[in-house]
Amino acid sequence: MTTEIRRATGRADDFTLLINPLAAKDHPWTDAQDAILNDRALATARDTIGSWPGYAETPLVSLDQTAAQVGVAAIHYKDEGPRFGLRSFKALGGAYAVARLLQAQVADTLGRAVEMSEIVGGAHPEIVAGITVCCATDGNHGRSVAWGAQTFGCRCVIFIHATVSEGRKTAIEAYGAEVRRCVGNYDDSVREAQDTASREGWFVVSDTSYPGYLEVPKDVMQGYELMAAEAFDQLETPPTHIFLQTGVGGMAAAVAALAKRRWQSARPTIVLADPDKSACWLDSYRAGEPRAVEGDLDTLMAGLACGEVSMLAWEVLRDHGDAVIALTDAAAVASMRDLADPLPGDPPIVAGESAVAGLAGMRAVLSDPDAMAALGLGVGARVLVFGTEADTDPVLYEELVGKSADTVRLAG
C-alpha cells in the first residue's frame, strides 16, 4: 500500500509526500545498476576532474543553528557555488562528458588509444576543432557543456526552451557557444537537440537518457558522483537522511548510488524533491513506472523544470529512492532567503532557486508530524543536502531574495 501525505491549504508551505513502494534499504546493488555507476568509473572521474586547473573540493557547511531550530541533530549543506567558477555542480558532469567524448572521437580518428592528458593539454587541435557538441538545457548543464567545449577546443551549440531566462542565455554564450531558443518546454528542446545532431553529425552531451541514448549520460552522472564522494568524505558521521532535488534525476541517482555502494543496507533514507509544477518523480513513483508530466512545466525552479525522468536515473532511484516530495515555488524562495539571512551563528549562503528544493523538502517534512513519522525524521536525524547552484542568474536572485548575491557573500 502506498503512503501519500498531502497538505493542500493554498499556502506556500503546501506539499505532497509519497513513499516509494518499490524501494527498500536491503535491495541489492544490481549488476545493471553497477553498469551505470561504479567505483572504477568514479576513480577515473576523480583522477580526470582532479587534474583540471581550478579543481578544489567545494565546502560542506554545518547549519548548526538551523538544525537546533527545526529539531534535528545536524544539517550539512554541500555548497556547489564555487565549483570551477560556473556557480553550479553541473561543471562536474557536462564538461567531464565532453572530455570523455572527445577522447573517444580522437582515438577513433587516430586509430590508437588517447590519454586524457592529450585532451586536457590540447594535443590534437585540428581534430577536436572539427567536432561539434550540443545539448538542451535549462541553463546550468548547457553552461557546463559550453565551458567544456571552450576549454578543450571543440564547437558547441546549446538549445534552450521558451522560459529559460536571458541572463542564463547570455551566460552560456559567454563561453563561446551558439545558443538556439526553441518553442515548447525542456523536453521539447531535448528532442530538437537530438534531431539536429542526427541531421548535422553532431554529438549530444545530455544529462538525461532515453532509448538509444545511454552512454554519454553515464559519464555526466559519474562526474556528479564526485560531488557526493567529496561530501561523504567530508562528513565525520554518515547522514541518516539525504534530501535531493531531482529534475530528470541524474544528480539524485548519482548521490543515491554512491550512498548505496558505500553503506549498503545501512544507507541513509533518500528523499527526492520535485517542483509541484513538474513533479515527474512523484507521478512515476505513484505509477510504479516512468511517467511524463505534460504542459509548460512553469516553475521558478528552472533547473528542475523537467517533465520526463531519465531512464538511467530511474534504474537507480526505483530501488534506492525512498520517497519524493513535491513543493511550491514559494517554498524554494523561502529557503533561498533563509540561507541568505540565516540565524545568528550560521553562515550566509548564496543559493539559486534550483539549489534549495532538498532543503525546502526537509523543512516541509519537519513541519508535519505524519510526514516526519513516515520518514523517521526526528531529533536524532543527521541531514545532508546539496546546494547545487549559487546565483546562476544574478538578476533573478536579487529579485527573489531582496539583495544581491555579492551583498550576501560580503556578510559572510
Q: What is the pLDDT of residues 47-69, one digit of tens each?
A: 999 999 899 999 999 999 999 99
**Distance between CA atoms of residues 358 and 378, nearest Å:** 17
pTM: predicted TM-score of the whole model, two decimal places: 0.95
Give pLDDT, residue 152: 96
Report the relative pairing of strands 4-7 and 15-19 from DSSP bridges.
antiparallel
Catalytic: which of 90, 218, 260, 277? 90
Percent of the chain with pLDDT over 90: 89
Contact 72, 84 (CB under 8 A): no
Res. 11: pLDDT tops 70: yes
138 is catalytic: yes
Count of other CB atoms within 10 angstroms of residue 65 = 15
Q: How far apart are CA 178 and CA 277, in angstroms?
A: 29
Mean pLDDT of 23-51: 97
Dist. CA 200–CA 309, nearest whole Å: 26
> Is residue 4 scored above 80 in pLDDT?
yes
Backbone angle region of 348, left / alpha / beta, with phi > 0 → left and psi within -120 to 50 → alpha: beta
Instruction: Tell me the average pLDDT of the chain.
Output: 95
What is the reported pLDDT for 164?
Answer: 87
Q: Among 58-67, 84-93, 160-169, 243-252, whose mean pLDDT is lowest?
A: 160-169
- Considering 39, 78, 79, 138, which one is annotated as catalytic? 138
**Measured distance CA(319)–CA(221) in Å, rounded:** 17
Band of residue 45 on the pLDDT scale cut at 50, 70, 90: very high
Residue type, 21: P
Q: 273 phi and psi, to 5 degrees?
A: -135, 120
Residue-wise pLDDT tens digits, 86-126: 999 998 999 999 999 999 999 999 999 999 999 999 999 99
Q: What is the mean pLDDT of residues 314-327?
A: 98
Q: How far apart are the first and last CA of the chain?
A: 47
Domains of the chain: 4-89+221-411 (3.40.50.1100), 94-206 (3.40.50.1100)
To the query of whether residue 25 is one of the catalytic residues in this protein, the response is no
Mean pLDDT of 219-229: 97
Residue 195's pLDDT is 96
Which residues does 297 contact at the CB level (< 8 Å), separation at least 6?
185, 186, 277, 278, 305, 306, 307
Alpha-carbon span 403 to 412, nearest angstrom: 14
**What number is the average pLDDT over the span 300-315?**
92
Around Cβ 41, how many Cβ atoms within 10 Å? Answer: 18
Supply the pLDDT for residue 1.
57
Q: Is the pLDDT of residue 249 over 60?
A: yes
DSSP code for 321: -
391: left (phi over 0), alpha (psi -120 to 50) or beta: beta
Instruction: State the average pLDDT over residues 229-234.
Output: 98
| Environment class of 73 (CB within 10 Å of its CB; exposed 0-12, middle 13-18, buried 19+) | middle
Count CB atoms within 10 A of the CB of residue 176.
Answer: 12
**Surface-to-core class of residue 167, CB atoms within 10 Å of its CB (0-12 exposed, 13-18 middle, 19+ buried):** middle
pLDDT of res. 244: 98
How far from 401 is each of 25, 198, 366, 395, 397, CA to CA, in Å? 38, 42, 23, 10, 6
pLDDT tens digit string along 325-369? 999 999 999 999 999 999 999 999 999 999 999 999 999 999 999
Helix (H, G, I), strand (E, B) or coil at 69: helix
Integer Cα distance of 391 and 403 in angstroms? 12
